Amino acid sequence: MNMLKVPLQIFRYKPGQTPGYDTFTVEIPATAHVIDAIDAVWTSHDHSLAFRRACHHSSCGSCAIRINGLEKLPCVTRVTDVWDGRSQVRLDPLRNFPIVSDLVVDRADFFRRMSAADMAMICEAEAFLPFTVDTFAVADLEPKLVELPENFSRFTRFEKCIECGICMSACPTMAADEKFLGPAGLAAIHQARKKTLDPVKVEHLLGLADGEHGVWRCHSAFECTEACPQAVDPAGKIMALRRELIARRFLKMLGK
């Protein structure tokens, strides 16, 4: 196996200490991803390194950080894609989140923003299917609403978005305005609005987006769409919400 000796420059912070960078050189396979390099630092060099990781395949969104200044998911970013063979690979936590320690950021307010859209946990398609059936194998199965057990709310989630927070880090308005709902929050509102037919809920969702710190605070930098690892296109969703809000305002003016 081809092994590489990769120098990493990692942001370090522990409460009560001055923030700074530590350098580590790790020996990892040439096919390794950046998260493997971080693992190697923790395993062989410094057990005090704080970082998040879980699924290792861009489904959970836990590991999001900045690699050489750009927001990425290190679990699907190969070391060879970000290392020129000589310079240090710089790892920083996400921007626009309070830093807990090293590469770990506080996501509480981020999850509050996602909760504002009031979307839930499983794919809507799954709620229409009997639990135990592999429906893709049963071609003539009619999708029908399944009776769910009591106290089991029907949950539908924002299917593409893995809530990694990368768009929030890339967004210059998030850097400026703490009250901004952010690309993820607004894209979630757009998705929830698309998925509901309840007019009261639609009004509420559009109302959330219509404020000074909603869709109108976006400055069209499009960094969110550029950085998103899941092709959610939050910028496009923000613009779609704007169009709907203006159309409604226009129709209201005409008395409809």
Partner 1 sequence: MENPFAEEPKPTSAWLWQVLTGVGLVILLGLHFIANHFVAKGGLRDFEEVVAYLRNPVILCLEVLFLLCVTVHALLGVRAIFLDFGLSEPAERRLDQVLKAVGFLTVGYGLAVTWMVIR
Partner 2 sequence: MSTLNYRKLSRSSRWLDVRRRRLGMWAYVLNRITGLGLVVYLYLHLVVLSLLLRGPAAWDSFVAVARSPYVLALDVILLAGILIHGLNGLRIALTGFGIGVGAQKALFVVIMVISAVALWVAALKIFRV
Binding site for partner 2 (CB under 8 A): 13, 15-16, 19, 68-70, 98-100, 106, 172, 175-176, 219-223, 226, 233, 235-236, 239-240, 242-243, 246
**Between 120 and 240, CB nearer to partner 2:** 240
Residues β-bridged to residue 101: 104
Q: Which stretch binds partner 1 (CB under 8 A): 92-100, 114-122, 139-147, 229-237?
A: 114-122
Q: Which does 125 bind (CB under 5 to 8 A by kind): partner 2, partner 1, none?
A: none
Q: Return all residues near 69 (Cβ < 8 A) that are at least 6 apart.
A: 90, 92
With CB under 8 A as the contact rule, the residue among 61, 93, 165, 185 that binds partner 1 is: 185
By C-alpha distance, which of 60, 63, 17, 61 is closest to 39? 63
Tell me the pairing of strands 89-92 and 3-12: parallel
Residue 158 contacts residue 184 (beta carbons within 8 Å): no
Specify the residue, 112 or 243, whose C-beta has the smaller distance to partner 2: 243
Give the closest residue to 227 by CA, choosing from 12, 109, 67: 67
Find out whether 180 and 163 touch, Cβ atoms under 8 Å. Answer: no
Q: Which residues bind partner 1 (CB under 8 A)?
A: 109, 112-113, 115-116, 118, 173, 176-179, 181, 185, 204, 207-208, 210-214, 216-217, 219, 242, 245-246, 249
